[in-house]
Amino acid sequence: MTSVLFMMWLRQLKRYWRSKPRMIGSLGQPLLFLLALGFGFGPIFEKAGGGSYIQFIAPGIIAMSILFSAMFSGIEVIWDRQFGFLKETLVAPVPRWKIMLGRVLGGASVACMQGLIVFAVCLLIGFRPTDLAGIPLSFVFMFLIAMFFTALGTAIASLLEDMQAFPLIMNFLVMPVFFLSGALFPIEGLSGIIKTVTLLDPLSYGVDGLRASLTGISHIGLVADFLVMLVLTLVTLAVGARIFSRIQI
């Protein structure tokens, strides 16, 4: 099992490091949000009594970079199926759930690297964690976000054979998940159906956990954030492994 997991994990990392345009291009959207929104809406946010908007938005942008990288890593399942590598992998004498877990760990590791790079960019722009002791906990939330959404993206890709359909479905899911997560606006004060939908959004708990560990501000509760993300990650891994094991080759 260890060799299979390591092989799949290492393969995902090699793909990432060999793709320099992917590494550079993945920073474009987070930078746009940080600069345009962070500095554009900063004065309005401060006048409303919210403090520094950069301090508020940075954890959400870190989560966003992880979300996009994790979800779109699932397309590699369809890519490998198209070019025959998946067939060679699945005929190996190991349970398919181990192969799936290795792919998820590799994709999550890449997504976490993206998050760490964006975290460093946030520090350069002016973001400052209020408690250095919370930084290790923020890494835990980054990993949980990456694992959950990589598993979800892999599960969805396992159901598809059309490579062109995957980005369309991902965009349909990713943008609402991000914008309704509280990454760009405070959850408290929301009312009605918007607050309900926001609390049903899995990323809301990851963003809130990141924000709580880095800035000490939490609208849901740090323990609740951790438990919800942990349970969702385990359930999604189990469901994703079952779907992946049923791939026809």
Nearest one of 42, 56, 229, 44 to 149, comparing CA atoms: 229
Nearest one of 185, 151, 165, 183 to 65, comparing CA atoms: 183
Task: Write out the two tokens for 241.
Answer: 């492994």
pTM beyond 0.85: the answer is yes
pLDDT digits (tens, 9 = 90+) for 202-247: 999 999 999 999 998 888 889 999 999 999 999 999 998 888 887 7
Predicted confidence at residue 186, as pLDDT, reads 84
Task: Write out the two tokens for 99.
Answer: 């192969």
Task: Write out the two tokens for 69.
Answer: 């990288």
- Residues (pLDDT < 50) of the chain are 1
Task: Write out the two tokens for 196.
Answer: 């309900």
pLDDT digits (tens, 9 = 90+) for 123-145: 988 888 988 888 999 999 999 99
Nearest one of 121, 157, 149, 147 to 24, comparing CA atoms: 121
Query: Which residue is associated with the tokens 């598809």?
Result: 160
Residues 6+ apart with CB under 8 A from 28: none
Task: Write out the two tokens for 207.
Answer: 């963003």
Predicted confidence at residue 157, as pLDDT, reads 82
Q: How many CA atoms lie within 13 A of 240 on its CB side?
A: 28
Query: Which residue is associated with the tokens 């959400």?
Result: 60
Predicted confidence at residue 86, as pLDDT, reads 65
Give CA–CA dist 208/197, Å, rounded: 15
Task: Write out the two tokens for 52.
Answer: 């520094």
Whole-Å CA distances, 210 to 34, 99, 138, 146: 16, 29, 5, 13
pLDDT digits (tens, 9 = 90+) for 224-234: 999 999 999 99
Predicted confidence at residue 5, as pLDDT, reads 55
Residue 221 CB coordination number (10 Å): 14
**Residues 221, 241 contacting (CB under 8 angstroms):** no
**Residues 151, 240 contacting (CB under 8 angstroms):** yes
